[in-house]
Amino acid sequence: MSRSSARECLAPGTVVAPGEVLVATEIGDPAHGRLDCPAAPLVGGLLYRRGVRVRYAPVPRSADASQADDGAALFVTTSLRGDGTATAIGAAASSVDGVAMAAARSAVEEWAAVSGTRRLLGAVSPWCPGARRAVEATRQALAQGPVYVCGQLMASPQASADLEKNGAVFARSLDDVPAGATLLIPAHGVAPGVRTEAAERGLTVIDQTCPLVAGVQAEARRFAERGDQVVLIGQSGLAVLPAILGEAPDHAILAETRAGAGAVQVADPRRVSYVLVPGVPVEDTPIATAALRSRFPALRGPDPDGFCYAASDRAETVRTVAASSDLVLVLGTEDDPDTRHLTALARSNRAKANVIADVTEIIPSWLAGVSAVGLAESTAAAPGLAARVTEALSGLGPLSVTRRVVSTEVTGRPEINPSGG
């Protein structure tokens, strides 16, 4: 997996201040011409963690000491990508600053030591098909003028901020929406009262309720209309809950998947139904449904063709990626619940898993002996981080980039996309 140690040469015309290391973003090489340095953020991150002042810049020229007598000291290694083009890892320091020179050499050599051929296995986007469609619909509607979004979209903070910049307004209630405005209903839907009020206010409604959410709403309504109490098997805090609870007011009870349904209290045990709240992995629900069945033998359930498998597929994809990887990089933040969930999934398959919020946080020793790296993107991942990690790793030798997707297709509902879309 390793390649030769750093070559020391000069960078004529490049000046580096004492106490500073310049991490090369590209290097002019006398033999190969201009060399890209995609791994520059990795080198810079390592130096930064060591307390070194780091600057990123191109090094337009490099030359052997025998052919030049000025410029900063440059430490460099080169390798080939899969397509045969050469890349470099390089760092420069003032030739009178021994400490900075040692730091630059060491950083280049440590990354060179873990360079080699690798596979990168990307997992799916953290956003489900329904959420992605709603974001796209908002973008398109903004071309015609301002759009009031009812609540929040399931999207990254960056995507939401971009939409806001282009005229989207995230309204907490219809009181914030002027009469006659355009109202977009997100994928997780709204309670029926909101639709009625929107019609009364003369709002133009763009309804992006996911078909699977609409299906669960219809089932909850139907169960409630025949007098059942409806147990919603899911998790508190899910954005979709108000839309489903609103279809069965005074009839609905939430049963958390983890706690099971043993504590659910009903007025008439012969009149109980349940639905699965979309967004919860289907395989997390059997304990709760079994508990309900044992307590209420006349329990009525939903049409399984209407189940959303987005969360199940995402979890299974991460497990599969982890099973094929020596290391999983979980993109997100340590304090984020979704990041912790993905990390636990990856580790459940005995893969090494490390959380990074930025590409500069990758540590060389993580990659020692690693020939397959998995990437799992949480909802807290910074926009574009997956692409930046991929680019940086491509500077450590030939990198084959693949994407793995586990997708459940419900054959009885061909009009709705796999993975719950």
Tell me whether residue 155 or residue 353 sits nearer to ligand SF4 (CB atom): 155
Sign, CA dihedral 293-298-303-308, equals negative
Tell me whether residue 23 or residue 282 sits nearer to ligand SF4 (CB atom): 282
Output the smallest distance, CB 310 to ligand SF4, in A: 4
Tell me whether residue 109 or residue 313 sits nearer to ligand SF4 (CB atom): 313
Output the smallest distance, CB 404 to ligand SF4, in A: 19
Output the smallest distance, CB 314 to ligand SF4, in A: 9
> Distance (Å, rounded) from C-alpha 106 to C-alpha 345?
35
Tell me whether residue 188 or residue 251 sits nearer to ligand SF4 (CB atom): 188
**Structure-token match 């909850």, residue found:** 220
And the tokens for 72? 């900063």
Q: Check residue 421 for interaction with ligand SF4 (CB under 6 A).
A: yes
Tell me whether residue 122 or residue 129 sits nearer to ligand SF4 (CB atom): 129
Contact letters (x/-) for ligand SF4, 326-365, by CB under 6 A?
A: ----------------------------------------
Angle (nearest 5°) at CA 250 between 247 and 255? 80
Q: Check residue 310 for interaction with ligand SF4 (CB under 6 A).
A: yes
Tell me whether residue 66 or residue 411 sits nearer to ligand SF4 (CB atom): 411
Output the smallest distance, CB 307 to ligand SF4, in A: 9
Residues 192-231 that bind ligand SF4 (CB under 6 A): 210, 212-213
Tell me whether residue 27 or residue 135 sits nearer to ligand SF4 (CB atom): 135
Residues 26-65 that bind ligand SF4 (CB under 6 A): none
Using CB positions, name the residue nearest to ligand SF4: 130
Output the smallest distance, CB 164 to ligand SF4, in A: 21
Among 28, 116, 130, 364, binds ligand SF4 (CB under 6 A): 130
> Distance (Å, rounded) from C-alpha 308 to C-alpha 131?
13
Q: Check residue 278 for interaction with ligand SF4 (CB under 6 A).
A: yes
Tell me whether residue 239 or residue 357 sits nearer to ligand SF4 (CB atom): 239
Output the smallest distance, CB 134 to ligand SF4, in A: 8
Among 16, 128, 149, 322, binds ligand SF4 (CB under 6 A): 128
Among 279, 302, 332, 364, binds ligand SF4 (CB under 6 A): 279
Among 232, 276, 308, 345, binds ligand SF4 (CB under 6 A): 308
Dmax of the chain from CA atoms?
Answer: 92
Which residue, among 199, 288, 193, 207, has the nearest Cα to 243 in the 3D structure? Answer: 193
How big is the site for ligand SF4, counted in residues (CB under 6 A)? 14
Tell me whether residue 212 or residue 224 sits nearer to ligand SF4 (CB atom): 212
Q: Check residue 185 for interaction with ligand SF4 (CB under 6 A).
A: no
Output the smallest distance, CB 260 to ligand SF4, in A: 22
| Residues ≥6 apart with Cβ < 8 Å to 346 | 318, 319, 321, 322, 328, 330, 353, 374, 376
Tell me whether residue 241 or residue 393 sits nearer to ligand SF4 (CB atom): 241
Tell me whether residue 278 or residue 395 sits nearer to ligand SF4 (CB atom): 278
| Residues ≥6 apart with Cβ < 8 Å to 275 | 216, 219, 220, 223, 230, 231, 232, 233, 244, 301, 302
According to DSSP, the residues that pair with 59 across neighbouring strands are 27
Q: Check residue 151 for interaction with ligand SF4 (CB under 6 A).
A: no
Among 129, 332, 374, 397, binds ligand SF4 (CB under 6 A): 129
Applying CB under 6 A, which residues contact ligand SF4? 128-131, 187, 210, 212-213, 278-279, 308, 310, 420-421
